[in-house]
A = this chain, B = another copy of it.
C-alpha cells in the first residue's frame, strides 16, 4: 500500500470557468504505479470546486449559466461588506471541494462520458492549487 500525492497549479481566465483536468488526473494515477485504490482530487480554495461531468461545450456553458443564476453576485450578501465574492463561496460550499474516484487496473473508474473539471468560481486567478492523491496498492 502506498500514498502518492502531487499538486498542480492552474491559471484561470474568466470569473467562472470549467477546466478539464482529466489528463492530469490520469497522469498522476499512472505515475503512482498504483493498480487498485482511490484517487482524490481536492481544491485548496473555497471559491472553487472540483466536479465530474461530460466535456461538451454546450453543457459547459449551461453549467456556468446555471451557477450564475443560482448564486447571483449582487444580492446584498453579508460577506460582501468585507469582500466581493460571497456568491463564489456559496457555490463552492454547495458544489464541494473534491471528488474521489476508485482506481482499478491502474486507471480511474471514469465512465465514457465523465471528465474531471476544476471549476473556477472567482477568477481570473493564477496559482490555483489542486491536490491529486492516489492511495492503494
Contacts and interface: CB of A to CB of B under 8 A. Distances in A.
Interface of A: 1-3, 5, 36-38, 40, 42-46, 51-54, 56-59, 61-63, 65-66, 77-83, 86, 89-90, 92-102, 104, 109-111, 113-114, 129, 131, 133, 135-137
Given A51-B96, A99-B98, A135-B37, A104 B56 contact: no
Contacts of A66: 90
A92 B53 contact: yes
Given A40-B100, A51-B96, A102-B131, A59 B45 contact: no
Given A37-B135, A58-B81, 17 more contacts: A1-B2, A3-B37, A5-B102, A45-B114, A46-B114, A52-B92, A52-B93, A53-B92, A59-B77, A59-B89, A61-B78, A62-B86, A62-B90, A63-B90, A65-B78, A96-B96, A104-B131
